Amino acid sequence: SYRKLALKNHPLKCKEPWAPERFRQLAEAYDVLSDPMKKGIYDKFGEEGLKSGIPLEFGNDNPWTEGYVFHNNPDKVFREFFGGDNPFAEFFAEDGSELMPRFGGLQGRGAMKQDPQIVRDLYLSLEDLFYGCTKKIKISRRVMDEDSQTSIIRDKILTIDVKPGWKQGTRITFKKEGDQGPNIIPADITFVVREKLHPRFKRSGDDLIYVTTIPLGKALIGCTVNVKTLDGRLINIPINDIV
């Protein structure tokens, strides 16, 4: 049903003003009904239960399911179903007659194309970057079932081993950890290191800059500035050594 209606209402083929919204609604319906869990919630609780969440019979920390939100990209659903860059190149013969693809879409006929890279910021403290640490990040992604036709949303833990001395802008890439689909290559997920603001230091390359206020009187007669380092040491810096 999705194949037939999506081809009929695709904005490149249907020029009616309502075609884009109809095409989006079809993609959302397919996204829900092709997933057994979401379809089960929809069949039992309707659209309100699907999008607002339903109470679970068990569970203390999170007694309600998360509401469904469509990613609002009908072209992505269309490409995953049919494959290929040109949405109609595979549907018509050279004489203009319509081809009848087999059930389930044109699997294998369209050129496999990888989804765009997903980039996320990874905020780390200066202490994390000084000592190194391990960060575990939970992602939710769509994975294909064994039948290669249906899919489900599942959580996965990605582990990042932060090395001492990493700088802002360091990129960590997990290959093909994005959403799976019958006719797509999952996107790579890349995390980019961002430094959190520090209460005492600002980083400049491999150096740390410490800013403090010194009363004019002490600046004239000399004093000592006490600086606590990232590793907990206390350094006493005479003011006459500061340029």
Q: Which tops the pLDDT comparison, 214 or 54?
A: 214
222 Cβ partners below 8 Å, 6+ apart? 238, 239, 240
Does a structural domain hold residue 96? no
CA 50 to chain centroid: 22
Instruction: Say how many C-beta atoms besides its own lie within 10 A of residue 27's C-beta.
Output: 23
Q: Is the pLDDT of residue 18 over 50?
A: yes
Does a structural domain hold residue 104? no
Which CATH number do you get for residue 160?
2.60.260.20
**231 and 177 in one domain?**
no
Hey, what are 72's tokens? 């609002």
pLDDT of residue 135: 94
Q: Which tops the pLDDT comparison, 187 or 37?
A: 187
Does a structural domain hold residue 108? no
Does a structural domain hold residue 207? no
pLDDT of residue 87: 57
Confidence label for 133 from pLDDT (cuts 50, 70 and 90)? very high
Give the closest residue to 182 by CA, choosing from 96, 88, 103, 112. 112
**35 and 78 in one domain?**
yes
Q: How far is CA 46 from CA 32, 35, 65, in A?
A: 11, 15, 14
**121 and 62 in one domain?**
no
Per-residue pLDDT of 55-95, as tens digits, reads 665 444 555 567 788 888 888 888 877 765 555 554 544 44
What span, in angstroms and rounded, lies between the C-alpha atoms of 242 and 101?
77
The whole model's pTM is what? 0.52
Q: Is the pLDDT of residue 169 over 50?
A: yes
Range of the domain at 231: 212-239
Average of per-residue pLDDT across 167-174: 94
Q: Structural domain tally of the chain? A: 3
Which of 67, 82, 97 lies at the terminal end of a domain, its last residue?
82
Per-residue pLDDT of 102-131, as tens digits, reads 444 444 444 567 888 889 999 999 999 999
Which CATH number do you get for residue 61?
1.10.287
What span, in angstroms and rounded, lies between the C-alpha atoms of 1 and 4?
5
pLDDT of residue 181: 78
Does a structural domain hold residue 129? yes
Does a structural domain hold residue 97? no
Residue with tokens 């998360």: 66
**2 and 72 in one domain?**
yes
What span, in angstroms and rounded, lies between the C-alpha atoms of 92 and 108?
17
Does a structural domain hold residue 92? no
Does a structural domain hold residue 224? yes
**177 and 150 in one domain?**
yes
Residue with tokens 């490409």: 79
Contact (CB, 8 A) for 92 and 106: no
Hey, what are 103's tokens? 């059930």
**183 and 134 in one domain?**
yes
